[in-house]
């Protein structure tokens, strides 16, 4: 989208009129499975290839998207010495080797420098250069800011915050002009905002707004400047440049529902004067068709003028004011059938996102949060209900002001005198030393927290660790955000 746009995140699916994918029940539990993952018998790109619509780009930081893929998924760079490490899979067709990242990044911080294309076409994503809307290059995602699990195996997504984005302007095989393509992405359906533009898909090759129809990307978010759907959002829409579309007309489409599954499947398909949006729960069930019909009834979209670059977390002109989390996604050549998209959805569900382990979306856990170094509890001082009150550590005594609930949306809530507030990164801060306070819950990313298997609690927006200031252990020591470095003052347990 262009500079004036403020779209949200797009989730689009293919031409699905009667999805027939098998519903796969989401697994439960809280134990990280040791040992290598077993190879999949089929990946999403095997399904697309067998249907004659092969992947021409396949990106994931969590798993292999082909049953035979044994290469690298992504690369990380650590701050301590600027060295890099490629993160591969534990076995062909398997899950990301997250343990390698944990070891490499221990005691320092890491960013994701490159996301490799598994299709063999070399369409790798790196930090986005300057564009018409924003100077660049963009920032890189903090490598441990979006922890997740797949069938109990630890992995990390790509946490996009404002100013972060990835791109490839010199691609191979991506659809151009009015040629057909299909796109899907697995996203965190509870990490979004109303900025421009959390996109994944086809964009301009010169990083500028080149007019109507020069893009075709999945968008996800809750902006209403262009198109929007039912409820308060977020919605899956298509970013076709100079418009986020939920249907044939600019503006409202009652059939495009609010979609906020913790793990959300979003798909967009497009061909000659025909396109579709589909979406669903990436943990269970089948796809729904949110739109299927002709191109927007505004000049410039029929025929399309796609240019074939690939973007992640930004708009076509490098508009980068968004929040979102990406786990996997592909682009194909050709318009996938309903049965193909149904099979892909079943494959995503079978991957077991969020099953086992402890992640930001686990939710439902209530108790005290103990600081490992001191044994004291995370405490809302004097059971305050005043927004902006900084939290501290204090002797555990079982009071409501020390009882925290990790919700399904990743919030840490505390209820005092009948008022429920959220643990909050003050002022949406994302730098070392940001104060941690209580604030009325508002659904923003600075109130979402990942409780990780390594004992840290990280901000979903910043990727920084919940940190006891100065490593002190006394009652009343305040809490801040700080770069994760492995110290005991950043270790916590939720009982």
Both tokens of residue 169?
């302007």
Please give the average per-residue pLDDT across 5-19, as a whole number. 30
Q: Where in the chain is the domain with CATH 2.60.120.200?
A: 44-350
Q: Where in the chain is the domain with CATH 2.80.10.50?
A: 365-494
Level-2 CATH architecture, domain 44-350: Sandwich (2.60)
- Fold of the 365-494 domain: Trefoil (Acidic Fibroblast Growth Factor, subunit A) (2.80.10)
Say which range, 6-20, 58-72, 343-357, 368-382, has the weakest mean pLDDT: 6-20
If one compares 439 and 250, the residue with the highest pLDDT of the two is 439
Determine the pLDDT at residue 355.
59
Please give the average per-residue pLDDT across 427-440, as a whole number. 94
pLDDT band of 418, cuts 50, 70, 90: confident
Task: Based on the residue annotation, tell me whether 317 is a catalytic residue of this protein.
Answer: yes
To 5 degrees, how large is the angle CA 465–CA 466–CA 469? Answer: 110
Looking at the predicted structure, is the pLDDT value of residue 224 above 80?
A: yes
Which residues pair with residue 277 across a beta bridge? Answer: 268, 291
DSSP code at position 192: -
C-alpha 208/C-alpha 432 separation (Å) is: 33
C-alpha 235/C-alpha 415 separation (Å) is: 31
pLDDT tens digit sequence for 359-409: 443 345 788 899 988 989 999 999 999 999 999 999 988 889 999 988 867
Determine the pLDDT at residue 78.
96
Determine the pLDDT at residue 309.
98
Please give the average per-residue pLDDT across 9-22, as a whole number. 31
C-alpha 105/C-alpha 83 separation (Å) is: 10
Looking at the predicted structure, is the pLDDT value of residue 247 above 90?
A: yes
Contact between residue 95 and residue 155 where contact means Cβ atoms under 8 Å apart: yes
Average pLDDT, the chain: 88
Please give the average per-residue pLDDT across 14-30, as a whole number. 30
Looking at the predicted structure, is the pLDDT value of residue 425 above 70?
A: yes
Q: Which residues of 220-244 are buried (b: 16+ CB within 10 A; e: fewer)?
A: bbbbbebbbbbeebbbbbbbbbbbb
Determine the pLDDT at residue 28.
26
Which residues pair with residue 306 across a beta bridge? Answer: 177
Q: Which of 199, 216, 241, 276 is catalytic?
A: 241
To 5 degrees, how large is the angle CA 443–CA 446–CA 447? Answer: 50
Please give the average per-residue pLDDT across 232-250, as a whole number. 94
Contact between residue 358 and residue 148 where contact means Cβ atoms under 8 Å apart: no
3-state SS string over 364-394?
CEEECEEECCCCCEEECHHHCCCCCCECEEE
C-alpha 311/C-alpha 114 separation (Å) is: 13
Question: For residue 342, what is the enclosing H or E element?
Answer: helix 338-350
Please give the average per-residue pLDDT across 123-144, as a whole number. 93
To 5 degrees, how large is the angle CA 170–CA 173–CA 178? Answer: 100
- If one counts every other C-beta atom within 10 angstroms of the C-beta of residue 435, the result is 17
If one compares 414 and 355, the residue with the highest pLDDT of the two is 414
C-alpha 257/C-alpha 299 separation (Å) is: 26
Contacts of 34 (CB under 8 A, 6+ apart): none
For the chain, give the percent of residues with pLDDT over 90. 71
Whether pTM > 0.85 for this model: the answer is no
Please give the average per-residue pLDDT across 52-59, as a whole number. 98
For the chain, give the percent of residues with pLDDT over 70. 89
Q: Which of 188, 199, 317, 424 is catalytic?
A: 317
């Amino acid at each position: 989208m262009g500079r004036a746009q403020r779209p949200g995140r797009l989730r689009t699916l293919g031409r699905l009129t009667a999805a027939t994918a098998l519903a796969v029940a989401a697994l439960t539990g809280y134990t990280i499975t040791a040992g290598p993952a077993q190879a999949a018998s089929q990946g999403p790109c095997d399904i697309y290839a067998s249907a004659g619509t092969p992947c021409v780009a396949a990106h994931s930081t969590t798993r292999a998207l082909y049953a035979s893929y044994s290469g690298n998924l992504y690369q990380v760079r650590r701050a301590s010495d600027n060295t890099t490490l490629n993160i591969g899979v534990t076995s062909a067709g398997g899950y990301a080797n997250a343990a390698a990242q944990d070891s490499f990044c221990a005691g320092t911080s890491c960013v994701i420098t490159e996301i490799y294309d598994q299709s063999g076409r070399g369409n790798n994503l790196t930090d986005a250069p300057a564009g018409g809307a924003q100077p660049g290059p963009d920032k890189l995602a903090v490598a441990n800011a979006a922890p997740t699990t797949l069938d109990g195996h630890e992995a990390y997504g790509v946490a996009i915050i404002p100013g972060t984005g990835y791109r490839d302007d010199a691609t191979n095989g991506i659809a151009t002009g009015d040629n057909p393509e299909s796109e899907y992405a697995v996203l965190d359906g509870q990490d979004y905002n109303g900025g421009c533009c959390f996109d994944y898909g086809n964009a301009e090759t010169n990083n500028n707004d080149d007019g109507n129809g020069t893009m075709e990307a999945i968008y996800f978010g809750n902006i209403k400047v262009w198109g929007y759907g039912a409820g308060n959002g977020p919605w899956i829409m298509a970013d076709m440049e100079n418009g986020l579309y939920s249907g044939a007309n600019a503006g409202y489409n009652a059939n495009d529902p609010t979609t906020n599954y913790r793990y959300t499947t979003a798909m967009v398909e497009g061909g000659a004067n025909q396109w579709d949006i589909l979406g669903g729960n990436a943990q269970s069930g089948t796809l729904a068709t949110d739109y299927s019909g002709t191109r927007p009834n505004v000049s410039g979209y029929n025929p399309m003028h796609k240019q074939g670059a690939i973007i992640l977390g930004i708009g076509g002109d490098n508009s980068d004011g968004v929040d979102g989390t990406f786990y996997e996604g592909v682009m194909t050549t050709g318009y996938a059938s309903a049965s193909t998209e149904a099979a892909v959805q079943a494959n995503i569900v079978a991957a077991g996102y969020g099953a086992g382990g402890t992640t930001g979306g686990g939710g439902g856990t209530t108790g005290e949060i103990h600081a490992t170094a001191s044994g004291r509890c995370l405490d809302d001082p004097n059971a305050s209900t005043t927004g902006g009150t900084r939290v501290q550590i204090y002797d555990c005594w079982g009071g409501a002001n020390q009882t925290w609930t990790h919700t399904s949306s990743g919030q840490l809530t505390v209820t005092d005198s009948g008022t429920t507030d959220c643990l909050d990164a003050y002022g949406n801060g994302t730098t070392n030393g940001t104060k941690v306070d209580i604030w009325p819950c508002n659904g923003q990313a600075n109130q979402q927290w990942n409780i990780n298997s390594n004992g840290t609690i990280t901000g979903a927006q910043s990727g920084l660790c919940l940190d006891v200031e100065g490593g002190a252990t006394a009652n009343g020591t305040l809490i801040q955000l700080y770069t994760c470095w492995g110290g005991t003052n950043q270790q916590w347990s939720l009982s």
